[in-house]
Amino acid sequence: MATVSMADSPIRSAFEACASTLSKIADYQLEPSLQARLQDLGERKDLLSQIEHDELMALADFVCKRSIESLEAKLALKQLSDVFPTLGEADCS
């Protein structure tokens, strides 16, 4: 079975691209305007029109899915870091 060195530039570049993308997902923050809208709708949840209720449910679903994706990305980054501890380190070349 052939082994591939992490020092090989194309492989390292591919893993670094994956780690970079995962980091963006892991660090996702809801836009302040959406956060404010979610809070407003949540505070008035008993008085919402059907359209506002549907919007609240859609926003809550969106936030839930992004939270799950963020946790999954953090786990994947941890797994990558465990296997390739130097992955996030800058090259000195």
Please tell me the predicted confidence (pLDDT) of residue 93: 32
DSSP per residue over 12-64, as a string? HHHHHHHHHHHHHHHT----HHHHHHHHHHHHTGGG--HHHHHHHHHHHHHHH
Please tell me the predicted confidence (pLDDT) of residue 4: 52
Task: List the chain domain ranges.
Answer: 10-83
The 10s digit of each residue's pLDDT in 2-57 is 555 666 678 888 889 999 999 999 999 999 999 999 999 999 999 999 999 999 99
Please tell me the predicted confidence (pLDDT) of residue 12: 84
* Nearest CA among 23, 27, 14, 13 for reference residue 67: 27
